Structure 1
Amino acid sequence: MAKIRIMLADDHTLFRQGIRTLISSEPDMEVIGEASNGGDAVEKAGELRPDVVLMDIGMPGLSSFEATRQIKKNRPETKVLFLTMYDDEDYLVEGMEVGASGYVLKDSPAQQLVAAVRDICRGGSYLSPRMLSQLVDDFRSRIKSANRLPRFATLTTREREVLKMLAEGNSVKEIACDLNLSVKTVEAHKFNLMRKLDIHNKAQLVQYAIQKKIIKIPNLA
């Protein structure tokens, strides 16, 4: 069976040596190269064509996120696993956006890292349990906050503008022209506001706008 070919990208030599020792003890894995900064990681990943790059966040030079984006662009089949000390959701989100397959904290048990490498090589994704727990807690908190807010309060200023103009009978094209937006952008605002308000058609939208006094019923007298 072919071994999983791993490249290390971290600016701390002692840390790379420790990870190399750990990986070398696994019968199905091998370290094929190392890099100490983002630019070097991109170059060596192109030369060595690893199955997995273990990528630190915060290396000098080219950012780890940009390095990951370039590695994935040059060779999509290479998996990138962030191995970092930062338990920061913003870093996690940015890492996923540029194509990383997983996020492991440096204080995790060694076998979590080994399991993460195997998982992403099988086509899966991996999050350190602590990061996953933080995401779940944050999600629950947002749901509670959303449930406490009146639905109208969840709309952005732009969504409220679009709601009013739709209820007044303007078409998406007319709204796009008046607000100097693309039709696609107005369609997105329309979709989001209807989802937030749990509205499914134009009649419900007009009824809601009247109830909330967003528009007035025309005086037919």
Structure 2
Amino acid sequence: MTMPTVKTNSSTIRILVVDDQSLIRQTIQMYLEQESDLEVIGYAENGTAAIKQIEELNPDVVMMDLEMPDMDGLTTIQVIRDRFSQVKILVLSSYDDRENINQAIKAGAKGYLTKATPAGELANAIRSVNQGYFQLGPGLMEKLVISMSNATEVSSKSLEDKLIIDLKKLKQDTNKQIVQLVKNELSKAEERFDHQLELKLHSLKRRYNELLTFARKIEFKLYLMLFCQIIVLFVGLAFWIVSS
């Protein structure tokens, strides 16, 4: 994938190269000195030196590695973003993983290239970043999208697993609630049945007592009638004896 040539309105883009390896710095200068609108105005081996160079030279674009002694690239990017907002930062790193790209962009970088980027594409990226455009090196966008897609799949899988666990727990809780509800209703039904049975027994007992009282009254009347008959019999017998 070849980047289209980007034209710039300014005559010269002033560049500060920040990398702890002298060979890399020399290679970048060799690449860029062939471009009439690009000028390397200084070098720095670490973040601390880069901050001093920016204060003195006021570059348009800073090309920066992430791994450096003293002050690493991410920390340096944040300092430049906060103190020199007009300076554009283009990362040139050996790493092309999603984590480093995201951290650099979050820190304030306007572009991210690998050190394997061809000279022409490197020059075009500098021009693009200087004009305020965001720039990702060839293949990095695809890798970033794939990484994000994989992360989304993992996240979706985790969400699905959590949903299944939550549904199982909900089912268990619901079953427990149903069992408890049935027990409560059975207990209430048993209480109602016991109460109704007690009322029935009380009613039967009262009826029994009423019948027993009635039977005793009948029995008393029968005994009274029998006693009266016996008295009448004895009186009649006595009268007969006396008459005889």
The two structures have a TM-score, normalised by structure 2, of 0.61
1:4 is aligned to 13
* Displacement after TM superposition at 1:213 (Å): 5.3
In the alignment, structure 1 residue 14 sits paired with structure 2 residue 59: no
1:64 aligns with 2:73: yes
**Quick one: which of 127, 135, 143 aligns to 1:134?**
143
Quick check: 1:104 aligned with 2:107? no
Per the TM alignment, residue 39 of structure 1 is displaced from its structure 2 partner at its CA by: 0.5
- Tell me, in whole angstroms, the C-alpha distance in 1 between the residues paired with 2:142 and 2:131: 23
Task: Report sequence identity in percent.
Answer: 31
Q: Flag the 1:152–1:31 CA change in 2: closer, same or farther, 3 A.
A: same
Alignment deviations for residues 70-119 of structure 1 (CA, whole Å, 9 cap, x no partner): 11111101011111111232221221121011111001211221121111
Q: Which has the higher helix share?
A: 2
**Residue type of the alignment partner of 2:103:** E
Taking a change above 3 Å as real, the CA distance of residues 73 and 18 of structure 1, as seen in their structure-2 partners, is same
1:136-181 Cα distance to aligned partner (Å, 9 max, x none): 2112223333444554727xxxxxxxxxxxxxxxxxxxxxxxxxxx
- Residue aligning to 2:82: 73
Structure number with bigger Rg: 2
- Is 1:83 aligned with 2:92? yes
Cα RMSD of the aligned pairs, angstroms, is: 2.9
Runs of 4+ in 1 over 6 A off after TM superposition: 214-219
Whole-angstrom CA distance in 2 between matches of 1:72 and 1:90:
20
Cα distance 1:130–1:67, how it changes in 2: closer, same or farther (>3 A)? same
C-alpha distance in structure 2 between counterparts of 1:19 and 1:151, whole Å: 49
Is the Cα contact below 8 Å between 2:32 and 2:119 reproduced in 1? no
Is the alpha carbon distance of 1:28 and 1:148 closer, same or farther for their aligned partners in structure 2, counting shifts above 3 Å? same
Relative to structure 1, the CA distance from residue 44 to residue 148 in structure 2 (aligned partners, 3 Å threshold; closer, same or farther) is same
1:26 counterpart = 2:35: yes
Measured at CA, do residues 142 and 91 of structure 1 come closer, stay the same or move farther in structure 2, by a change above 3 Å? closer
Asked which structure has the greater RCO (Cα within 8 Å, sep 6+), the reply is: 2
CA offset digits 1:171-196 (Å, max 9, x no partner): xxxxxxxxxxxxxxxxxxxxxxxxxx
1:69 Cα deviation from its structure 2 partner: 1.1
**TM-score, normalization by structure 1:** 0.66
What secondary structure does 1:112 align onto?
Answer: helix
CA distance, structure 1, for counterparts of residue 138 and residue 104 of structure 2 = 17
- Once residues 27 and 119 of structure 2 are traced to their aligned partners in structure 1, the CA distance between those partners, rounded to angstroms, is 10
| Residues 98 and 147 in structure 2, CA contact (< 8 A), matched pair in contact too | no
